[in-house]
Amino acid sequence: MKPHTLPVVVALLLVGCATSPSVQLRKSDAEIELSRTGHPVLTYNLRPPPHSGLPVMAGGYFHPLMTPAGVVVTDFAPEDHKHHRGLFLAWVEMHGAKDADFWGWGAHAPVKDRRIVNRSVTTQRDGFVARNEWIAEDTVMLEEELRVTSGFESGVNVLDLNFRLLPKTDLTLSQWAFSGFCLRVRKDGDIRIFSPNGLVTLPNPSHVKPESDWPDAAWYACEQHLPDGQAFGAAVINHRSNPRTLWHNHRDVRMINPCIVAPGEVKLSAGQPLILRYRVVTFDGAIPVHTLDKLAADLSGQ
């Protein structure tokens, strides 16, 4: 807890599992911290910290995101990619009433005066709902409603994210090999990436060649090993209702990115919401393949 904030603590009980331990939410004007039986699980940042170095002043991201044992999985504003912010959603090139790069790359659309601003947070029994605006200069491009549900199953942390993105004007999300929903993990230790078919041996994709992205799959997961032998990892599960997806999973950059603009540009009409659903799983030890398969099958049935 930061000494300058006055947090509100809300005790919650996870639903869907009779043995689920209690969950606590600690809310301040800058973040929401979610803990389970006193152990931190995640922090959702309503705005970036001062002097973060981010090229876009974008809140609405998760960092740190932790395993059940408390190992931090995510990385924030690393030196090699200062625009990466843990677990986040943004696109590198958006055109509409204004042009905008909410991802923060800055090569093909403006980042100046582009920001994601939180407007409200409502706590619920098993998580919270955040409402954000994506603003380019003085124009609201998108209204975002994010429903967050946290759970614990078969020894892993489970985070369900439901994004409802309401365009205020007609928008085009340009085709790129990367951007959209992204998990940026730590760079220390080694890394291997798996899919339901096992260890992935495909080459790293190129950020300028969408055709080099990996084929769609129910999930992709990274397993990392630190020099002391500690193993941990995270997975992203893609909901079958999401638009057609290719994956920009890059071992050297340490990102898992189900990218809906890799197959082609995506056009959004004013007032017609885009719904995106993802399930993120963090774990200790080796990749829990059977658990991920089950969690993916459960998600596809929802």
Which CATH number covers residue 257? 2.70.98
**Contact between 158 and 253 (Cβ < 8 Å):** no
- Report, as an integer, the average pLDDT of 40-68: 96
In this prediction, residue 74 carries a pLDDT of: 98
| DSSP states along 229-247 | S-EEEEEEEE-TTSPP-EE
Instruction: List CB contacts of 88: < 8 A, sequence separation 6 or more.
Output: 58, 60, 61, 62, 181, 182, 184
User: Does residue 3 fall inside a structural domain?
Assistant: no
pTM: 0.93
pLDDT greater than 80 at residue 17: no
In this prediction, residue 126 carries a pLDDT of: 83
In this prediction, residue 9 carries a pLDDT of: 40
User: Does residue 212 fall inside a structural domain?
Assistant: yes
pLDDT greater than 60 at residue 13: no
146-205: pLDDT as tens digits: 999 999 999 999 999 999 999 999 999 999 999 999 999 999 999 999 999 999 999 999
In this prediction, residue 252 carries a pLDDT of: 98
253-284: pLDDT as tens digits: 999 999 999 999 999 999 999 999 999 999 99
User: Does residue 1 fall inside a structural domain?
Assistant: no
User: Does residue 72 fall inside a structural domain?
Assistant: yes
Q: What is the mean pLDDT of the chain?
A: 92
The larger pLDDT score, comparing residue 5 to residue 141, is at: 141
**Sign of the alpha-carbon dihedral angle for 64, 57, 174, 206:** negative
Q: Quick one: how far is CA 15 from the chain centroid?
A: 22
Q: How far apart are CA 259 and CA 236, in angstroms?
A: 12
User: Does residue 75 fall inside a structural domain?
Assistant: yes
User: Does residue 149 fall inside a structural domain?
Assistant: yes
In this prediction, residue 164 carries a pLDDT of: 98
pLDDT greater than 80 at residue 11: no
**Contact between 248 and 259 (Cβ < 8 Å):** yes
- Report, as an integer, the average pLDDT of 234-258: 98
In this prediction, residue 22 carries a pLDDT of: 74
85-140: pLDDT as tens digits: 999 999 999 999 999 999 999 999 999 999 999 999 999 888 999 999 999 999 99
pLDDT greater than 70 at residue 18: no
Total tally of structural domains belonging to the chain: 1
Range of the domain at 261: 8-300
User: Does residue 2 fall inside a structural domain?
Assistant: no
In this prediction, residue 5 carries a pLDDT of: 36
| Tokens, residue 68 | 């059940």
User: Does residue 285 fall inside a structural domain?
Assistant: yes
CB atoms within 10 A of CB 11: 8
In this prediction, residue 124 carries a pLDDT of: 87
